[in-house]
Amino acid sequence: MTTTIGEKITKRLAAFATALEKKEQVTERFTCRRMTLDLQPQPYDPALVKKTRQSLGLSQSLFARFLGVSVKTVSAWECGAKNPRDIACRFMDEIRENPGYWKERLSAIAKPATRM
């Protein structure tokens, strides 16, 4: 008789629950991994914001739409009147890590302008 994946998962979870109830050292009986992520965003000065935007080949207007902020906000970041919030910095960190990926994503969602 073949055991389904669901049955295997249920059986292993039951074994884990039993180990917890018996206060066993689960790290000795089960494979346990601990992972930490350093997600502290880099601070962005005006030049770095502009360099990040330019790495995608975007105008301030398109960059603002892409990040979900106003054009005034991007302009304020690039002239130093405001600093980007942590979430925007994290997104820009990701853009700087792999700009090719984001250029590809932008190309995939870009729609040609219609003529009037």
Confirm whether 88 is domain-assigned.
Answer: yes
16, 26 contact by CB (below 8 A) = yes
What tens digit of pLDDT does each residue of 25-58 get? Answer: 988 888 888 888 888 999 999 999 999 999 999 9
Do 10 and 50 share a structural domain? no
> pTM for this structure?
0.67
Closest CA to 76 of 112, 94, 111, 50: 50
Question: Which amino acid is residue 61, in one-letter code?
Answer: S
Confirm whether 3 is domain-assigned.
Answer: yes
Give me the pLDDT at residue 96, please.
97
Do 104 and 75 share a structural domain? yes
Rounded-to-integer distance, Cα 92 and Cα 87, Å: 9
Confirm whether 104 is domain-assigned.
Answer: yes
Rounded-to-integer distance, Cα 9 and Cα 3, Å: 10
Do 52 and 85 share a structural domain? yes
Q: What is the CATH number of the domain that holds 80?
A: 1.10.260
What tens digit of pLDDT does each residue of 13-34 get? Answer: 999 999 999 999 988 888 888 8
What tens digit of pLDDT does each residue of 62-95 get? Answer: 999 999 999 999 999 999 999 999 999 999 999 9
Could you tell me the residue range of the domain that residue 65 belongs to?
Answer: 46-109
Structural domains counted in the chain: 2
